[in-house]
Amino acid sequence: MKNLSQMMKQAQQMQEKMQEMQERLAEHEVTGAAGGGMVQVTMNGKGEMRGVKIDPSLVDPNDVEVLEDLVLAAANDAKAKVEQYTQEQMQDLTGGMQLPPGFKLPGM
């Protein structure tokens, strides 16, 4: 029974660490950019968009498609940075153990 008690204690500690990590992810922000930084998208560590900045020189009513493409590229850049940050945080939490590809945290 001593081993079971130890395992339960470790599981509870891991759960607490996961909660702390979730809170850090919600607070951490990354910015993705496109068009040489003329379009920027900021997301928190949970992948929620927090802001968009667009250089006014890009606003051309006759060529909206370029702006749309740049916003999409900046959002994808920010998302990639969020995923990298999340993976780094999980490795810290799991002691460097690699996670399976596509693994998602609860609540993400």
Beta-bridge partner residues of 29: 44
pLDDT at 11 over 60: yes
pTM of the model: 0.72
Q: What is d(CA 66, CA 107) in angstroms, rounded to the nearest whole number?
A: 33
Q: What is the CA radius of gyration of the chain?
A: 19
Residue 45 belongs to a domain: yes
Residue 50 belongs to a domain: yes
Residue 34 belongs to a domain: yes
Say if strands 29-34 and 49-54 run parallel, antiparallel, or are unpaired: unpaired
Report pLDDT for 9.
Answer: 83
Q: 3-state DSSP call for residue 88? A: helix
Name the least confident of 17-26, 67-76, 92-101: 92-101
DSSP annotation of 70 reads: H
Rounded to a whole number, what is the distance in angstroms from the first to the last CA of the chain?
A: 35
Residue 75 belongs to a domain: yes
How many structural domains does the chain have?
1
Residue 59 belongs to a domain: yes
39: containing domain: 25-93
89: domain CATH number is 3.30.1310.10
Residue 107 belongs to a domain: no
At position 41, the amino acid (one-letter code) is V
